[in-house]
Structure 1
Amino acid sequence: MNPRWHKVVRDYAEALIIALILAFFIRSFVVQAFKIPSGSMLETLQIGDQLLVNKFLYGIKVPFTDITVVPISDPEHGDIIVFRYPLDESKDYIKRVIGLPGDTLEMRDNVVYRNGERLDEPYLAGLPAKNFPPAHNFGPVTLPDNKYFCMGDNRENSSDSRYWGFVDRSQIVGKAWRIYWSWDGPFSIRWSRLGSLVE
């Protein structure tokens, strides 16, 4: 092979390898893309929203394991998190953190109380139930160590901790961060949502 072409091929190969390593590093430790497939987080998140999940915020893990090597912070009340579904860890879910380890939660007539205080939840969708009979009452229940209680903002249409229990700390992937794309069909882009923070 011509030495000049050999150098060009080698340079491109090196650039490709470096790009793949960087992509793996970023996806493993920093951010990961996630698509909203259902309406359980309406109106905060729309079906068709595509967002970035901050994996770095809650600690650095060994890739493909639940081993945290550098703890940074823990989820807080109100965080919207992506986690592995406790009943089938091959699926990712997204919900809002309502209860932290040690909290006592209770729901009476569709109103959530945390440690005896009624929650102010302005983000609730208030949409009518469509998919299944919602749970309007539960508890009181006190969360064990390393367990989180998560619920959807579309409370009447959300499969969440009321039905399948707690989310373990090890199952949490990261915090929903920013919407990078959103559409309601191939020719209906929600321009106003692009780049917006997830809160």
Structure 2
Amino acid sequence: MYFAIFMLVILLVSGLIWLLDILILRKKRQASALGEVPDPWYVEYSKSFFPVILLVFTVRSFIVEPFKIPSGSMMPTLLAGDYILVNKFTYGLRVPILNNVFYPIDKPKRGDVFVFHYPPDPSIDYIKRVIGLPGDQIQYRDKQLTINGKVVNLDFIAPYKYALNVNDESGSSRAVDVTASRLTEQSGTIKHDVLIHDIMNQYSPGSLGDRLMQGETVTVPEGEYYAMGDNRDNSSDSRVWGFVSEKHLVGRAFFIWFNFDQWRRIGQSIG
């Protein structure tokens, strides 16, 4: 969000300088000189920057925006270090910065991998998978997801080993090798893999995670979505901080365009 604000400021400033030069400043320079007068440096920079910034700002705001995956909460679908593209118009065209929809197109579907503004701090962007739609009744107990009374089947694939960064008693971070079970899950029309660990998560009293662990059935409110990470036992998601409001939606992730460490991931679609 801060980068978008910065780009908007530069866009407005450079555009205003260029416009003032066309309407006022250029005429004054020409009137006070006998020959051709070169543009001042600030006008030259504005004329050069404005079209480029306008193009980039338009593409990032309304068409597609790049993001980098910072953590392993969406493993094995997305890995830390993946650079992805997010479709910005799938869930409707939105006013930059304010994020209000001015041209509705579609809404998130169950199984979508979507980017949104983190509900407790909208200046931060998060990525998870859409699990529950408005009106859905959700249960999640003993690692088993149930939606509207229908159990979501999990088909075991194989053990999945990866390095997990943990903090020791001194606060230093170190990598620990862990093993999870890799399973296939069907979310709507999308079939994807998830990771399940042999651990029992703890949630704050009253949180969605705590209520679900107690056996409660949670109903997704209108205009909101229930989100979970594919790395089910290593994800801060709706179980921790609640539902995702439509006003916080950014777009749908659809493509991995780069990864410095794993080149074979380049070009993979996200589903």
- Using the size of structure 1 for normalisation, the TM-score is 0.86
Structure 1 residue 176: deviation in Å? 0.6
Aligned to 2:254: 177
Aligned to 1:164: 241
**Number of residue pairs matched?**
191
Structure 1 residue 12: deviation in Å? 9.0
Aligned to 2:195: 125
1:29 counterpart (54, 62, 65): 62
Structure 1 residue matching 2:78: 3-state secondary structure? coil
Question: Residue 190 and residue 148 in structure 1: after superposition, are their counterparts in 2 closer, same or farther (change >3 A)?
Answer: same
Structure 1 residue 54: deviation in Å? 0.6
Aligned to 1:186: none
Structure 1 residue 88: deviation in Å? 1.1
**Mapped partners of 1:174, 1:20: distance in 2:** 21
Structure 1 residue 63: deviation in Å? 1.1
Asked whether the 8 Å contact 1:86–1:167 carries over to 2, the reply is yes
Pick which of 17-26 and 93-102 moved more.
17-26
Structure 1 residue 108: deviation in Å? 2.0
Structure 1 residue 126: deviation in Å? 2.6
% same residue: 44
1:68 counterpart (79, 101, 112): 101
**Counterpart residue type for residue 197 of structure 1:** S
**Mapped partners of 1:56, 1:71: distance in 2:** 9
**Mapped partners of 1:110, 1:61: distance in 2:** 36
Aligned-residue CA RMSD (Å): 2.6
**Pair 1:101-2:142 in alignment:** no
- Structure showing the higher helix proportion among its residues: 2
Structure 1: segments with no counterpart, 5+ residues: 184-188
Q: Highest CA radius of gyration, 1 or 2?
A: 2
Structure 2: segments with no counterpart, 5+ residues: 1-34, 154-184, 186-191, 204-208
**Pair 1:143-2:248 in alignment:** no
**Mapped partners of 2:196, 2:128: distance in 1:** 16
Structure 2 residue matching 1:28: 3-state secondary structure? helix
Structure 1 residue 196: deviation in Å? 1.0
Aligned to 1:198: 270
Question: Residue 177 and residue 39 in structure 1: after superposition, are their counterparts in 2 closer, same or farther (change >3 A)?
Answer: same
Within 5 A, what are the aligned runs for 1:19-58?
Answer: 19-58=52-91
